[in-house]
Amino acid sequence: MSDALSNQLLVVTVLAYLAAMIAYAAEFAFGNRGAVARAATRSRERELVGAGGPVLPDTPVVIESAPSGGRAALFGRFAVALTVVGYAAHLGTIVTRGLAANRVPWGNMYEFVLAVCFVGATAWLVLLARRPMVRPLGMFVTLALIVMLFVDAVRLYTAAGPLMPALNSYWLKIHVTAAVTASGVLLVGFVAAALTLIRMGYDDGKRWFPCSLGNRLPAAATLERLTFRVHAFAFPIWTFAIICGAIWAREAWTQYWSWDPKETWSFISWVIYAGYLHARATPSVKKTVATWIAVLGWATMMINLFAINLVVTGMHSYAGVK
């Protein structure tokens, strides 16, 4: 089996995500700005008037209800359907790639980014199922996916081939799967953090782009909390990925840690995300500052993925990109 089918499916994936993004954007543009705000107040009221139920006046509201109906919502539902189509094609891309190479399909950088985006899409769909209210963020999530997949296909593509012996270990499956999972979830965390900052900027009276998009976004407190929860989910996975990497390094390169550039940047990202969790737990640090640290964390992840793989050579030179 050749990887031609996989490549064609990738085109389908990107096109479907693109269509989904346009539909999300249509919902975003046509949805009356009140929809979100109304939903916010409504859920607040629901909790306040809840028949004899508990009253939670002081905790920030986490909005659980779906966006209201109408034409905009139709676009929104359409967008979700397209995302699912893209997601199915995305899964197909990875599976056929694995069949073509006859191994786990994350042995080089092209496949790694493909898988990271897949986890990102999974995280997005799970989030969407659990909190339908986050749907207006879909435009940004699909945008991030499209950019990553496009760069991947154009810049990083490598034909399917066997693994080099250094990669031929069950630690590949464990370590890289964990790294892919953490990166994919952190991708969604980054989108949430960026939108939190946009919304916070809007609330501070900034009206220029991109803060001007803020009026259609969920409340800053909701987004900020979402950002935290996504990161709190991803951080232990990232930690686990690094630990597995160290165990593998001890088997393959003799030493559990040798400050290879990739290791160094994983460490930097880990420290920055730890900084984010600390900053968020420190009342004297503003939430804006903490959220910026999360964005910085994603920047270090991207440096690790692109700059370190393509520019600096280390023992991790498995990118396979010529």
Partner 1 sequence: MSTVEAPPADRVDSGAPLPRGHGLGPWLVALARRAWRQLTSMRTALVLLFLLAVAAIPGSLLPQRNTKIEDVNQYLRTHGELGRTLDRFYLFDVFSSPWFSAIYLLLFVSLVGCLVPRLRDHVRALLRQPPDGPSRLDRMPAYVGGTGGDPEQFAALLRKRRFRVAVRGTTVSAEKGYLKESGNLLFHFALLAMLIGVAISSWYGWHGSRNIVAGRDGEICNTVPQYDDYGLGARVGPGDLPPFCVRLDRFEATYAPNGQPTAFRAHVHYSQGSSGTESPAEVQVNHPLRISGAGVYLLGHGYAPVIRYTDRFGKSQTSVQPFLNNDENLTGTGAAAFPDANIDPATGKQDPNDQIGFQGVYLPTMSSTDMTRGASLHPEERNPRLLLVAYKGNLGMDAGIPRSVYTLDESRIASGRLAKVAESKALRPGESLTLPDGSKVEFVGTRAFVTVTVRHDPGEMIVLGAAVFLLAGLLLSLWGKRRRIWLRVNGDRVDVGGLPRTDYPGFAAEFDEIVQAARKEGILR
Binding site for partner 1 (CB under 8 A): 47, 52-59, 62, 161-166, 168-169, 171, 225, 228-229, 232, 235-236, 239-240, 243, 246-248, 250-261, 264-265, 267-268, 271-272, 274-275, 277-285, 300, 308, 312, 314-315
| 42, 195, 29, 124: CA torsion to nearest 10 | -80
CB of 274 to ligand HEM, least distance (A): 4
Selection from partner 1, ligand HEM, none that 250 binds (CB < 5 to 8 A by kind) is partner 1
- Whether omega for the bond prior to residue 60 falls within 30 degrees of 0, making it cis, is no
35 and 67 Cβ atoms separated by less than 8 Å: yes
Q: Residue type at 272?
A: I
The residue among 216 and 231 lying less far from partner 1, judged by its C-beta, is 231
* Binding residue count for ligand HEM, defined by CB under 6 A: 4
- Which residues from 152-191 bind ligand HEM, rule CB under 6 A? none
| 142, 146, 148, 152: CA torsion to nearest 10 | 150
**C-beta pairs of 284-289 under 8 Å, 24+ apart in sequence:** 287/200, 287/224, 288/197, 288/200
Nearest of 138, 147, 137 to residue 116 by alpha carbon: 147
The residue among 253 and 306 lying less far from partner 1, judged by its C-beta, is 253
CB of 227 to ligand HEM, least distance (A): 15
32 and 71 Cβ atoms separated by less than 8 Å: no
CB of 229 to ligand HEM, least distance (A): 13
Selection from ligand HEM, partner 1, none that 279 binds (CB < 5 to 8 A by kind) is partner 1
Q: Which residue is nearest to ligand HEM (CB)?
A: 281
CB of 201 to ligand HEM, least distance (A): 26
CB of 290 to partner 1, least distance (A): 10
Q: Please count the other Cβ atoms lying within 10 Å of the Cβ belonging to residue 11.
A: 13
The residue among 77 and 229 lying less far from partner 1, judged by its C-beta, is 229
310 and 108 Cβ atoms separated by less than 8 Å: no
Selection from partner 1, ligand HEM, none that 300 binds (CB < 5 to 8 A by kind) is partner 1
Which bin fits 15, alpha (ψ -120 to 50), beta or left (φ > 0)? alpha
122 and 285 Cβ atoms separated by less than 8 Å: no
In sign, the C-alpha dihedral spanning 290, 238, 176, 255 is positive
How far apart are the C-alpha atoms of 25 and 157, rounded to whole Å?
Answer: 29
- Which residues from 267-286 bind ligand HEM, rule CB under 6 A? 274, 277-278, 281
CB of 45 to ligand HEM, least distance (A): 31
CB of 12 to partner 1, least distance (A): 28
4 lies in the site for ligand HEM, by CB under 6 A: no
Selection from ligand HEM, partner 1, none that 264 binds (CB < 5 to 8 A by kind) is partner 1
Nearest of 20, 6, 129, 37 to residue 76 by alpha carbon: 20
CB of 235 to ligand HEM, least distance (A): 6
How far apart are the C-alpha atoms of 102 and 168, rounded to whole Å?
Answer: 13
| Dihedral pair phi/psi, residue 313, rounded to 5° | -105, 140
The residue among 26 and 186 lying less far from partner 1, judged by its C-beta, is 186
Selection from ligand HEM, partner 1, none that 57 binds (CB < 5 to 8 A by kind) is partner 1
Binding site for ligand HEM (CB under 6 A): 274, 277-278, 281
